[in-house]
Amino acid sequence: MAKITTSQHGAQAYAPFISHEHSFFQYKNTEMTIVVTENAQDPIYCLLFWEELVRFMDNKKPLPDVPRYEALRHLDPVTAEYDAAQAKAGNPRPEVYWRDMSFDQQEEIYKELLEECFELDWFNLEPRDEITAPWQRWTPKPELKDTLNWKYKAKRLAWQLGCGFP
């Protein structure tokens, strides 16, 4: 992670750099600078990106239980085995857990977790337990979910035709 000067307005921001660990000079073109957020004045966003990347790349553990990977959980053998073991132990993961939630509720959960991250001392901290069963911590609130009735569809169609938004 490094502090860089952005091209717009010369602002300082944090950005993670990823490069080959041992042979940087041999693999110069493998270096990447990742944009994690538009306002990266705090290194927390870089640390969260790194944690997600490490967790995703660890092929000994199941995929993180986040909305991005929910539809693909059955394709990863380690994750499918983990979900089957959870079901056998009497703690089954709902198949469409994140898809049953509204985007508003997912945003609430994201903000709650982000607040917890800001309170952590990331550099002097014992490893914390991962959230492996989010369905035990948060339950979907159906009242927040948009229903696909004719009013919603008409409003959405008018919005798309009138403003050109998807």
Which of 5, 126, 116, 130 has the alpha carbon at shortest distance from 56? 130
User: Which amino acid would we find at residue 150?
Assistant: W
User: Which amino acid would we find at residue 79?
Assistant: T
Measured distance CA(72)–CA(76) in Å, rounded: 7
Measured distance CA(93)–CA(59) in Å, rounded: 20
Quote the pLDDT of residue 115: 87
Measured distance CA(9)–CA(39) in Å, rounded: 13
Residue range 111-122, pLDDT digits in tens: 988 888 888 777
DSSP H or E stretch at residue 3: strand 2-5
Q: How many Cβ atoms are within 10 Å of 141's Cβ, its own excluded?
A: 13
Quote the pLDDT of residue 78: 93
Residue range 91-104, pLDDT digits in tens: 898 888 888 888 88
Q: What are phi and psi of 70, to 5 degrees?
A: -60, -45
What pTM, to 2 d.p., does this model score? 0.65
- Dig out the tokens for 117 from the structure: 């991250």
Residue range 20-51, pLDDT digits in tens: 666 666 766 766 667 666 566 677 777 778 88
Residue 163 pLDDT > 70: yes
Q: What percent of the chain has pLDDT over 70?
A: 70
Which of 37, 50, 30, 27 has the alpha carbon at shortest distance from 6? 37
